[in-house]
Structure 1
Amino acid sequence: MQQLGSRVRAARKKAGLSQAAFAEKCGIDRLYLGRIELGKQNPTVVMLMRIASEAGTDAATLLVGIVIDRDGALAPSKRRMRSETA
């Protein structure tokens, strides 16, 4: 979850929006967005698509390289997005 949250935060910042402004644009509470960015909560697929769209990207880009472990939890990936290595 931490990796996805970091990507959501980076996409929001790239869009030049504060957490409050971005949350409003997405139609969600700022605290919910904060929990997503901190990796404490996973967004639904629909919410992830809305977040990605409002940030000017797509959900697939935010999810590249993220894998699920046997228990269904997000597991760290050995590969990183190009933007994370730059």
Structure 2
Amino acid sequence: MSDPHLDILGQRIRERRRTLGMSQEELAHVAALDRSYVGRVERGEHNLTVVSLIKLCRALRCDIATLGQGLPVGQPTVLD
């Protein structure tokens, strides 16, 4: 079962890519990532690193805040 945050983020990445008329392969090339990685991200199957998220945002010509806007945020937890 995937994380709902990753599902939403992946959907937004896919929507932005399609809006720009890019294929997954084109996005992967511009972002210097593997096409299969982009596919897994769009399906919410992969937890992105910050670096990968920045690469995708640059390739999609948007900022991280745009993709993350309105994502549900839970209460912070204290770790021992």
Match of 1:20 in 2: 25
- 1 CA distance for matches of 2:56 and 2:74? 24
Structure having the higher Rg: 2
Offset of 1:67 from its aligned partner?
Answer: 2.7
Residue 34 (structure 2) aligned to one of 24, 29, 38: 29
The AA in structure 2 aligned to 1:52 is C
Residue 6 (structure 1) aligned to one of 7, 11, 14: 11
Where does structure 2 lack aligned partners over 5 or more consecutive residues?
A: 1-5
- Check 1:69–1:41 CA distance in 2 against 1; reply closer, same or farther (3 A cut): farther
4+ runs deviating over 3 angstroms: none
Indicate if the aligned counterparts of 1:15 and 1:56 stay in contact, CA closer than 8 A: no
**Percentage of pairs with the same residue:** 37
1:52 aligns with 2:57: yes
Match of 1:82 in 2: none
Offset of 1:68 from its aligned partner?
Answer: 4.4
Which is richer in strand?
Answer: 1
Which is richer in helix?
Answer: 2
